[in-house]
Structure 1
Amino acid sequence: DVDIRDCPVIVPPGALFQPRPHDPAGLDTVADAMRWVNESAGASNAWVLAGDRTASGRPLVAGDPHRAFGVPNVYYQCHLACDAFDAIGLAFVGVPGVAHFGHNQHIAWCVTNAFGDYQDLYVERFRDDGAEYEHAGSWQRAHRRTEIIAARGAEPREIEVFETQHHGPVVFGNPVEGYGIAMRSTALDHPSTGLSVIAPMLRATNVAELFEVMRGWVDPVNNLVAADTNGTIAYHTVGHIPVRSRATAWGPVPGWTAEHEWHGLVPYDELPQVTNPPHGAIVTANQRITNDEYPHYLGQDVSRPDRASRIWARLDELVDATVADVAAVHRDRRSLGADLWVERLLALAPQDDYERAALELLAAWDRNVDVDSAGAAVYVVVRDAVTRFVAHGPAFAELSTPLPDEPPVTFQPAGLRLWVLLPARLARDDPVVLPPGASWNDALTAGLADGVSVLRGQLGDDPQRWRWGALHHFAARHPLGDAALDPPAVEVGGEWDTVMSTRPAIGVGFDAVWGSVARYVFDLNDWDESRWVVPLGASGDRTSPHFADQQAAWAAGELFPMRYSWDDITATAESTTTLTP
């Protein structure tokens, strides 16, 4: 549920989303199928400027992936060179190549998650202790196997795995008891060819070659932005998305009827794409990909348009853009989402001097979520309190704790989901999510009182000391649980929907747990002018001086030189490691 007003789509660049109504009749099959179930149930930025909008006359590519923060870094800065290619970028440790963000001698590329819908759920009927399942009027043999999971200090655990040949493995339910929900995914339907594109993409010499290579990419479905030294800039949705009915895509459907099967894949050449758009820019920040006139269903999940709108606004200001100009966009902390909340909060009558001071701070706030901003602290803390007020209502009681047998790592508190959902409800004064009898003024009044209490409790009674940075730290923890391995904590600006995105754990605390795990700017005129940074450092060794030596720069939104030419690398290298067989 995203407020789609003034929402820029990716294709065509600069256009705004134009919705059209959908016929909900097909959803009846979803509800019917769920009768058989007797249990309760990414974001990133990337953009490119064409050469006619830059000082050098060649494109500039920039962006930053958003993920849960980790120790060591999620991405590893690396440079891979051989006779066949010379590529530099950000890689997952243990995964070959630089598939998501990087460049070679000729092209630069980056991605954001397209939130493509390439997985469907089917409610399956089983019999004979899960030995067979029903499909198209006949009973089919289910594949059953036992997986043994070894655990240190505990007895091995046996897991029974059931798989249907039509819809894939059972991921919920118990076929022995007669039902289960199977998940069909493009990544499981056939042997994946995704990794086969890595080496060819490192050898590509222009955007057209890169896009041809990416036909083999399967999942996840990504927004691919690219540019080459010839001046071409382009976008292409990449990945496999099945062709199926809306009902199949929107919820679990009966697996036994054969009425909800896939009908092949959306052809690669029909996926959204654009080359050298008239605006001379492409922006993707997980917003809607295209308008409803597009004939294929791609997915329903999208991010709010705030980040995309802010990036477009910043790019529209640029003339003869430089690397420094584009890098400055990374530091944008203007919260568009705050406007609605501040307007509604300022209409309240304060109940004491502390609430009055909080509202005065909001009234004077420029809507930039900076570390030294008291207004930013009031906004996020009070909005968090309103979210908790709603989440604790009876409508969300079943979402307050994990479901039976739900793995802890998959549980998302209701507050995390409501942070995204509430703005649209607030804008319409829609009380459907509120406790019975409560109005939005009630929720805001309670949130203001609770939020001010939290601010006083954590930061003291002096409102001038209510700094956002005093609450909001990048304080990642090492997975081994040893505090001696943790990096130092550092104050950071930004929030969920700012371009400089640093998401707190809504309803739990205010430290940043999710955000930019790398930032980069690629200069296609001079690769050595490119810049990058990661939250910690280039080393995963806690004893290395390079374990967290980029942290302060990352927190401030600054970037380091991304050295590419080997003469420059040799001249500035601190050390050299030679591996011998």
Structure 2
Amino acid sequence: AAPRSNTTTNAFDIGAPRFSKLIALDKLFGVLDEGIGSNNWVVDGNKTTTGKPLLANDPHLGIQMPSVWYMNALHCNTVSDACPFSVAGYTFPGVPGVVIGHNDQIAWGVTNTGPDVQDLFIEKINPANPNQYEYMGKWEDMELRDEVIHVKGASDVNLQVKTTRHGPIMTDVFDGVTEPLALQWTATRETSHLIDAVLKINAARNWDEFRAGLKDWDVPSQNFVYADLEGNIGYQAPGNIPIRAQGDGTQPVPGWTGEYEWTGYIPFDELPFVFNPSSHYIVTANNQVVPDSYPYLITKDWAAPYRATRIEELVRAKEKLSPDDFETIQGDVYSIPLVKLQQFIKPLTFENSLAGSAIEFVNKWDGRMARDSQGAAILEATHNALVEELFSKRLSAETYKMYQADGNSTRQAIDLLLDQPDNEWWDDPTTAARETRDDRLKVAFQNGVNFLGKLYGETPSGWSWGRLHTATFEHPFGTIKPLNLLLNVGPLGTDGHGFTITNAGYRIKAEKQTGTRSAPFLRCAKSLT
């Protein structure tokens, strides 16, 4: 097929953004890593062996040591209006109160809602005064703030931060951007009342008090599941989520016209919530929590639904669930997207002997991303090879690096394309022929097994997901040798991947081995008995 252009045209020209700095930040901090997120779910007494609610939560963050979470408790000697706390659970160092936990009446857990709360505004600068910008036909003064950054072993860096009504000018962060871009973000727009919310929900005694406390939870928006000793369960998504006069936040917009301003936030009572649903359970896993008919825009970039779908399958599979069942669900490593890929790989035939041997392990794979599984390793290597095969030839090198790092997008794109055998993305733009879905799948499978063969030898029985997918728990001082031998733990073979309930998202390294970057930092299950 003939090569196709990979350029796009924006509605508003801001130059030709390059992603080199973002790629460097991502490499350092893993901001695009798949698997960052959480699971939580709650069932009422109609579906439990105890006759009372059960609630589970496991947050997933980047692997680090020591953990960002620690257990904490606040107990007043005598609980009273003046000292209302009898609460225990998990929190961050330096944060007063308990973020995930329970008191003697209620329990709660959180996952990230993931709303779109950042917009970029293109500003028009006054040619006669670089510290003024246009807004609705008038020049307004920027707020100027001088920052001094002290650098060890080097001279100080002096930085002047310029802020418009929309936020700080961020243009210097983006290579290739020619227009001033101001970042408007709920986290920096107003003073936060988050700590007030934490303390209020810590002291709450019932659903109404819990929701009242969450009215102060402004950023970041979370999916709260709730249960109490009276047998009630509930869900609430709090947070400041903007209402836009125009636009959807997906691209920079003119800041000088006033046509794209934030007109307010979604009213609290119109944010997603549910109390004692007829289904007798609630599940969230960073997935879409509102129907398409919801009257407000929360985001266009929800996390993939696979973890939530699998949790719901297991919750519905038994009439009555026990605390042991919750533990089993939290440890589940069944991969919905990879099982789908398996169904399209199994009918293919291969003349290559290595591929012919490997397909036998794919055919008998049980869908579990277990560390001793050959089938899991082969199919995940195939998926990664397919991402490269389909997208690296159509995107610029920088854009592809960004897209490849965002496993959430690539996984869902492959999932959609598998059901569209005639989609033009199956065609290879670098050849004269018209390739089919099966053609590209065969190439990806062969590339995947060649990669595993090069790493571990040409005997597929010796391949396993745990050899490919390892986790290393690195201490901040573990970068200094020989302290790394004393303080770091790993590499350890790990189960799961970024789309299993046991969430173990990874990053493909330079040699194409996978390094686990995220994991459940804690697992808790609370029985309201």
What TM-score bracket applies, with the shorter chain setting the length? Answer: 0.7 to 0.9
Sequence identity, in percent? 30
* Matching residue of 2:81: none
What SS does the corresponding residue of 2:318 show, helix, strand or coil? Answer: coil
1:103 and 1:415 map into 2 onto residues whose CA distance is: 34
Give the AA of the match of 1:179: E
Is contact 1:111–1:224 with CA below 8 Å preserved after alignment?
yes
Return the offset for 1:150.
Answer: 0.7
What SS does the corresponding residue of 1:300 show, helix, strand or coil? Answer: coil
Is contact 1:126–1:178 with CA below 8 Å preserved after alignment?
no
User: Cα RMSD (Å) of the superposition?
Assistant: 2.3
2:158 and 2:375 map into 1 onto residues whose CA distance is: 54
* Matching residue of 1:7: none
Is contact 1:474–1:492 with CA below 8 Å preserved after alignment?
yes
Give the AA of the match of 1:349: T
* Matching residue of 2:415: 423
Q: 1:475 aligns with which of 449, 455, 472?
A: 472
Residues 464/301 of structure 1: CA separation in 2 closer, same or farther (3 Å cut): same
Return the offset for 1:265.
Answer: 1.2
1:234 and 1:324 map into 2 onto residues whose CA distance is: 22
Give the AA of the match of 1:108: A
What SS does the corresponding residue of 2:170 show, helix, strand or coil? Answer: strand
Return the offset for 1:129.
Answer: 5.6
What SS does the corresponding residue of 1:31 show, helix, strand or coil? Answer: coil
Return the offset for 1:169.
Answer: 1.0
Return the offset for 1:487.
Answer: 1.9
Q: 1:52 aligns with which of 46, 49, 62?
A: 46
Is contact 2:387–2:404 with CA below 8 Å preserved after alignment?
no
1:292 and 1:478 map into 2 onto residues whose CA distance is: 43
* Matching residue of 1:273: 273
1:126 and 1:174 map into 2 onto residues whose CA distance is: 18
1:178 and 1:343 map into 2 onto residues whose CA distance is: 47
Q: Deviations over 1:98-125 (max 9, x none)?
A: 22x2111111111111111222211111
Is contact 1:474–1:511 with CA below 8 Å preserved after alignment?
yes
What SS does the corresponding residue of 2:72 show, helix, strand or coil? Answer: strand
Return the offset for 1:384.
Answer: 1.4
1:492 counterpart = 2:491: no
Q: Deviations over 1:424-466 (max 9, x none)?
A: 2233233338641454334322222221122222222222121
Q: Deviations over 1:492-531 (max 9, x none)?
A: 2111211111112146432311121211101111xxxxxx
Return the offset for 1:485.
Answer: 1.6
2:359 and 2:456 map into 1 onto residues whose CA distance is: 17
* Matching residue of 1:70: 64
1:126 counterpart = 2:125: yes
* Matching residue of 1:343: 343
Return the offset for 1:234.
Answer: 0.2
| Bigger Cα displacement from structure 2, 131-140 vs 236-245 | 236-245
1:146 counterpart = 2:173: no
What SS does the corresponding residue of 1:425 show, helix, strand or coil? Answer: helix
Give the AA of the match of 1:467: S
Residues 415/435 of structure 1: CA separation in 2 closer, same or farther (3 Å cut): farther
* Matching residue of 2:26: none
Is contact 2:245–2:263 with CA below 8 Å preserved after alignment?
no
**For 1:30-179, what aligned pairs fall within 5 Å after superposition?**
31-33=10-12, 35-40=13-18, 42-83=36-77, 84-99=84-99, 101-127=100-126, 128=128, 130-164=130-164, 166-173=165-172, 179=179
Return the offset for 1:191.
Answer: 1.2
1:445 counterpart = 2:437: no
Is contact 1:173–1:181 with CA below 8 Å preserved after alignment?
no
Is contact 2:73–2:89 with CA below 8 Å preserved after alignment?
yes
Give the AA of the match of 2:414: L
Give the AA of the match of 2:447: D
1:255 counterpart = 2:255: yes
Return the offset for 1:326.
Answer: 1.1
| Bigger Cα displacement from structure 2, 191-200 vs 74-83 | 74-83
Q: 1:518 aligns with which of 508, 518, 522?
A: 522
Is contact 1:459–1:465 with CA below 8 Å preserved after alignment?
yes
Return the offset for 1:389.
Answer: 2.5
Give the AA of the match of 1:115: G
Is contact 1:50–1:59 with CA below 8 Å preserved after alignment?
yes
Give the AA of the match of 2:489: P
Return the offset for 1:321.
Answer: 1.9
Is contact 1:399–1:413 with CA below 8 Å preserved after alignment?
no
2:404 and 2:145 map into 1 onto residues whose CA distance is: 30
Give the AA of the match of 2:410: L
Q: Which runs of 5+ in 2 are unaligned?
A: 1-8, 20-35, 78-83
Q: Which runs of 5+ in 1 are unaligned?
A: 1-29, 403-410, 526-581
Is contact 2:390–2:425 with CA below 8 Å preserved after alignment?
no
* Matching residue of 1:9: none
Give the AA of the match of 1:463: P
Give the AA of the match of 2:395: A
Is contact 2:71–2:90 with CA below 8 Å preserved after alignment?
yes
* Matching residue of 2:425: 432
**For 1:461-472, what aligned pairs fall within 5 Å after superposition?**
461-472=458-469
1:81 and 1:370 map into 2 onto residues whose CA distance is: 41
Return the offset for 1:248.
Answer: 4.3
Give the AA of the match of 1:486: N
* Matching residue of 1:561: none
Is contact 1:416–1:506 with CA below 8 Å preserved after alignment?
no
Is contact 2:471–2:491 with CA below 8 Å preserved after alignment?
yes
Give the AA of the match of 1:102: G
What SS does the corresponding residue of 1:163 show, helix, strand or coil? Answer: strand
Q: Which has the higher contact order (CA 8 A, sep 6+)?
A: 2
Residues 76/522 of structure 1: CA separation in 2 closer, same or farther (3 Å cut): same
* Matching residue of 1:216: 216
* Matching residue of 1:454: 451
Return the offset for 1:419.
Answer: 3.8
Is contact 2:214–2:238 with CA below 8 Å preserved after alignment?
yes
2:173 and 2:378 map into 1 onto residues whose CA distance is: 48
Residues 151/207 of structure 1: CA separation in 2 closer, same or farther (3 Å cut): same
Return the offset for 1:192.
Answer: 1.2
